Amino acid sequence: MTNDHAPVTVEQISNALTALGYFDHEITPAEHAEFAALNNHPDIYRVRLINALLGLVQKEAMFADGVQLDEENQFAAVGEQMKAAEAWDDLVLQMAFTGWQVARAMIPLRIHAPLEESGPLPMAAVQAAEGLHVMLGALGGTYAASAAGDVEGIAFQLEMQRAARGLLQTAIDNIDYVLDAVEAANNQ
């Protein structure tokens, strides 16, 4: 996960999408230009394409994870993901990458949770995910600060861990609210 490499092009992404069956034909340069114009910005088009590819790969990973693996092979499989993300041998990058995954995973929850009919449980899920995201960021920050001998940085990361704890506690409180309401209704 270094920032010193050139990002893949829309042509490379669309070729991968075509190879995986997302598109039924190879997208022409004219079609790329048209799609980019529809999105009012070439970066938006690229982000949408890369997210389509990510969705396809995540779906395949979800199905692949259904195969029963022993712990060693399961860790090795996830290790391949970390290697591809260039985070294999760097705990700070592992925490950043994992935190990014958690943050992305909570986007659908953030859309659903504020709806009145959703109730407190989706909000509890958002709060738990946010707590985990903050915790992973603080953990990575602690590794980095410790390696640099940065005492102030470590102290800041402890504050972030307290913030994570607060989010997780709020999630637990929301779950308890639902459980208490169900128990009260059952006791009537």
Residues 14/23, Cβ–Cβ less than 8 Å: yes
pLDDT for residue 117: 79
Return the percent helix, strand and coil in the chain, to nearest 5: 80, 0, 20
- By CB atoms closer than 10 A (0-12, 13-18, 19+), residue 71 is exposed
The dihedral built from the CA positions of residue 87, 90, 92 and 94, taken in this order, carries a sign that is: positive
41 pLDDT band, cuts 50/70/90, is confident
The answer to whether 77 touches 101, Cβ cutoff 8 Å, is no
180 three-class SS: helix
Between helices 42-64 and 10-19, what is the axis angle to 10°? 30
In sequence order, the 6+-apart residues with CB closer than 8 A to the CB of 26 are: 14, 15, 18
Residue among 87, 106, 105 nearest 96 (CA): 87
Please write the tens of the pLDDT for every residue from 132-175: 999 999 999 999 999 999 999 999 999 999 999 999 999 999 99
**Cβ neighbours of residue 147 closer than 8 Å, sequence gap 6 or more:** 92
Query: pLDDT tens digits for 87-132?
Result: 999 999 999 999 999 999 999 988 988 877 788 899 999 999 999 9
Full-model pTM: 0.80
